[in-house]
Amino acid sequence: MRVIVGFMVLFGVVLLFLMSRFNFSDTVNSILLSLIVGIVVFIFVSGLTYSSLSNRSDKLNNTESKIKKRKKKANLVGLIFMVVFMVVFFNFYLHIKTMLGNDLLVSLNIEEENFVIKNGEEVNIEITAKVLTNPFCKANCSLTLRDLSNDELIYEDNIFIKVSSPLSKEYKISSAWEQSGQKLYKVTLNCNNIEDRFCYSYSPSPALRTRIISVDHDLNEIQELIKNNLKNNIKDMNTEVYIIDNNLGDFNFDKPYLNLSDLRENSIIINNSLSSIKENMSSLSSLYLSQDYFKLGTDVYNLNQEIVKLNSSFNELNSSYFGNISLYNLVLANLSIMHQEIIYLEDYNFSEYSLELAKSFINDFNSFISIMEDKNSASFKLEKFNELSLKKENLSFVLQDELINNISRENKLNISIYEINLPKFNIEYKNYTLDFVLGEPSPICCLHNECYDCIDDASLNYPIIFVHGHSFNEKISPELSMDSFGGMAGQLEKDGGYLDAGYFYRSQYDEGSKGYLGRVNSTIVVEATYYIDTVVTDDGSFMLTSKWESIDTYASRLNDIVSNVKYITGKDKVIIVAHSMGGLVTRKYIQLYGEDSLEKIVLIGIPNHGVDGFVLNYCAVFGADLECSEMNKSSEFILNLNSVPLPDIPIYNLVGVGCFWEGSDGDGIVKSSSAYLDGAENIYVNGTCNLVDFFHVRMVHPSLHPEIYNIVKEKIEIKEVYTSVA
């Protein structure tokens, strides 16, 4: 008996030594603790049983063989109690661990979240997921990959994940786009614990993790060639239309001495066609800039056919217009020559016969000058001039004949030949050139079936950063702290206008990541934690959990978070929504780094003037001592924080009331007198407390307090509208 007890004691000491020297997993620790409890129970029960049997054997004066049998029974009883207590303790331990925050924690990681590809190529999305839960639990998870541009579900897998079996998946995303731009994809992991004999769950809702993947699409070589050809076609067509338009505008159909009414009618018809083509030409530029190359190709072909017809009609009009002017000038020039040739007739001697012919010709000549001055067609003028020329030739023949035959010529004309004072029309052929510039299309971004030019505006859609409060249990993962705002972030996305980008970890991004989450017309929402520090080395960046630092240190980490959220969204400011101690971290951040990067802040249940009483006394039971000491209402930190004026930005401070303790009203954790912040817009919200079910914790859950969610949403809204152009 003593040997067995001694062995058990030694075995228990060894187990305690191993647990103190090595960091075992939760599974191993729970088993070792159960063994130690079982050993203690075995020693106690077997010792008690052995003592009882020894007393009975002394009274009954039993034989040695019977005593040995009773010792075996004592060991057996001790062993049975040991096993029973091990099982009971193991169950109790798992229950307590679950209640203290080790229920179900899900981690979702993606190797790379920002890709640049050419259309037609594929990218591989490497996803790893693991769960942190009761070692005897198995999580039933749904893993989905959704195209946010059209809300199409690309992949969906239902899988079971155990603590010892992390998930590793690889998905392919192919690009069938005809444009250049950005598409966002959302990976969602939704897990529930499957309750079993040793598996317990107290989570009211599934554990949810999301990650946003950005894929920038560039045109491939063939698409780039088609695009450039279309661009050149548009340029040539615009130039041709420009030349026709300007030449048509140079035509003057109200010229004196010429009737161009027929040409005017033709020009009106051509101008109507030109107006229609010009209107369609502007749509070509819009199609090009919106990267609708398929429709653009069809419209370019159809419109080019119309331009060919227009050009033919214009050339015909142009030829007729300048032909009429040239013909008028030709008739005028010949008339001037004729005038010079006949001016001598005023002093010439005629026979009676030739005198009558000369008078008739001169009268016709003078009449033709009137015809030239009248507004009629150039062809009519030419016709009449030709008739006049025949008469002149006939008169010249008669005069020549009289001269040869010495016919008596003693008669004077006594008729004046009119002077020609008609102007010649100048013909100017202008060479119009067009320096047509068609800008390059902006990248196209699509979200929820709406497409537009990717946004490049640092002041539009400021991102929202949710900052959690004090961790009740410093032993649990920081991700559980970020879970507090998961419901609010998800509800904002459901309501529209917001995109939940999930948890925010990183503090270093490459140049290609600049602004990649700020191009869509939606406000990015992230849940951040100041409990994780990132160490950057030559081998990469490493995340370290650190939950026992000062609030000043947390404020420094928040500064990194703000800077990096601004970087990946391309915005110059952010909006912070903070809960509990997160509000103190936010205020300290402003005190240390200023408010230039903040548009506004929303504070929920903040101990602006510290905590006291039972909250302070029990704060450090599970939480970090330093955090709790700094939140003491008499601490130097609180006094210093409230000694500085508030920043000149909107501050909305939600104060919880309805729970009464220690003679004060509040949210069960923070007294209303402590939450009130002079200089902020204080908004009182009502709730109730029930034992350890504090209103303070429930304030950030939209399903439990939708009225608080509505207030937060109202305060973070920025009334700006971005108009779709695609």
What CATH number corresponds to the domain at position 593?
3.40.50.1820
User: Is the pLDDT score of 722 beyond 50?
Assistant: no
348 and 434 housed in the same domain: yes
Helix axes 221-250, 261-289, angle to 10 degrees: 160
Q: What is the pLDDT of residue 723?
A: 43
Residue 466's H or E segment, with its range, is: strand 464-467
Tokens of 250: 């140079």
Same domain, 472 and 589: yes
Q: Is there a contact between 195 and 203 (Cβ–Cβ < 8 Å)?
A: no
Asked if the structure places residue 105 within a domain, the reply is no
pLDDT attached to residue 396:
92
Higher pLDDT, 451 or 722: 451
Q: Are residues 170 and 207 in the same domain?
A: yes
Confidence of residue 192 (pLDDT cuts 50, 70, 90): confident
- The pLDDT value given to residue 691: 79
Of 279, 398, 287, the C-alpha closest to 345 is 398
Confidence of residue 101 (pLDDT cuts 50, 70, 90): very low
Domain presence at residue 46: yes
The answer on 689 and 543 residing in a single domain is yes
Instruction: State the pLDDT at residue 99.
Output: 44
The three-class DSSP label of residue 552 is: helix
**pLDDT above 90: percentage of residues in the chain:** 53
Q: Given this model, what pLDDT does residue 430 score?
A: 81
Which of 248-252's residues contact partners 24+ apart within 8 Å by CB, and which partners? 248/274, 248/314, 248/317, 250/428, 250/430, 251/317, 251/321
Q: Are residues 592 and 637 in the same domain?
A: yes
Per-residue pLDDT for 721 more than 50? no
Q: Does 212 share its domain with 225?
A: no
Gap between the Cα atoms of 688 and 78, Å rounded = 49
Q: Which of 91-105, 128-142, 542-556, 697-711 has the highest mean pLDDT?
A: 697-711
Same domain, 395 and 471: no
What's the confidence (pLDDT) of residue 540?
45
595 and 470 within one domain? yes
Q: End of a domain among 185, 218, 251? A: 218
Q: Would you tell me how many other CB atoms lie within 10 Å of the CB of residue 577?
A: 29
Among 37, 31, 49, 48, residue whose Cα is nearest residue 12: 37
The answer on pLDDT for 657 being more than 90 is: yes
Specify the higher pLDDT residue, 298 or 69.
298
* Residues 13-71: tens digit of each pLDDT: 666 666 666 555 555 666 666 677 667 766 666 666 656 655 655 544 555 566 566 66
- In this structure, the number of other CB atoms found within 10 A of the CB of residue 239 comes to 15
pLDDT tens-digit map of 236-283: 999 999 999 999 988 999 989 999 999 999 999 999 999 999 988 889
**241 contacts 278 by C-beta, under 8 angstroms:** yes
Tens digits of per-residue pLDDT, 157-190?
A: 888 777 657 788 888 888 788 889 999 999 988 8
The per-residue pLDDT for range 544-571, each reduced to its tens digit, is 455 568 899 999 999 999 999 999 999 9
**pLDDT above 50: residue 491:** yes
Dihedral of alpha carbons 378, 381, 383, 388, sign: negative
Give me the pLDDT at residue 210, please: 87
Calpha distance 373→421 (Å, rounded)? 9
Rounded CA-CA distance 462/598 in Å is: 9
Average pLDDT, the chain: 83
pLDDT at 725 over 50: no
The verdict on residue 431 lying in a domain is: yes
**Burial tier of 699 (Cβ tally within 10 Å: 0-12, 13-18, 19+):** buried
Same domain as 122, residue 249:
no
Residue 135 has pLDDT above 70, yes or no: no
669 compared with 33, residue with greater pLDDT:
669
Q: Tell me which DSSP letter residue 347 carries.
A: G
Paired tokens of 416: 């004046």
pLDDT at 508 over 70: no
Which CATH number is 176's domain given? 2.60.40.150
Q: Is residue 452 part of a domain?
A: no
- Backbone region of residue 54 per phi and psi (left: phi > 0; alpha: psi in -120 to 50; beta: other values): alpha
- Say whether both 467 and 424 belong to one domain: no
pLDDT above 70 as % of the chain: 76
pLDDT for the residue 47: 63
Q: Which two tokens stand for residue 192?
A: 């529930």
Per-residue pLDDT at 479:
55
Residues 518-527 pLDDT 10s: 999 999 999 9
- Helices (runs of H) and strands (runs of E) counted in the chain: 18, 23
Query: What confidence category does residue 677 fall into, taking pLDDT thresholds of 50, 70 and 90?
Result: very high
Residue 453 included in any domain: no
Q: In whole angstroms, how far apart are CA 116 and each of 123, 148, 217, 502?
A: 9, 17, 6, 22
The pLDDT of residue 503 is above 90: no
Same domain, 533 and 639: yes
66 Cβ contact partners less than 8 Å away, ≥ 6 residues apart: 57
Give the pLDDT of residue 413. Answer: 87
In a domain, 549, yes or no: yes
Range of the domain at 176: 111-218
Question: What pLDDT is recorded for position 726?
Answer: 41
- Whole-model pTM over 0.85: no
Tell me the per-residue pLDDT of 209-219, one tens digit each, with 9 for 90 and over.
888 999 999 99
Question: DSSP character for 670?
Answer: S
Is residue 628 over pLDDT 90?
no
Taking the C-alpha atoms of residue 482 and residue 508, their distance in angstroms, rounded to an integer, is: 20
- Same domain, yes or no, for 677 and 698? yes
Q: Which of 74, 99, 124 is the last residue before a domain boundary?
A: 99
> Considering the domain boundaries, does residue 8 fall inside one?
yes
Last residue of a domain, one of 170, 203, 218: 218
One DSSP character per residue, 78-143 reads: HHHHHHHHHHHHHHHHHHHHHHTT-SEEEEEEES--EEEEETT-EEEEEEEEEEEE-TT-EEEEEE
**In-domain check, residue 633:** yes
Reported confidence tier of residue 100, pLDDT bands at 50, 70, 90: very low
Q: What element of type H or E holds 544?
A: strand 540-545
Query: In 3D, which of 50, 41, 51 has the Cα closest to residue 69?
Result: 50
Name the domain count of the chain.
Answer: 4
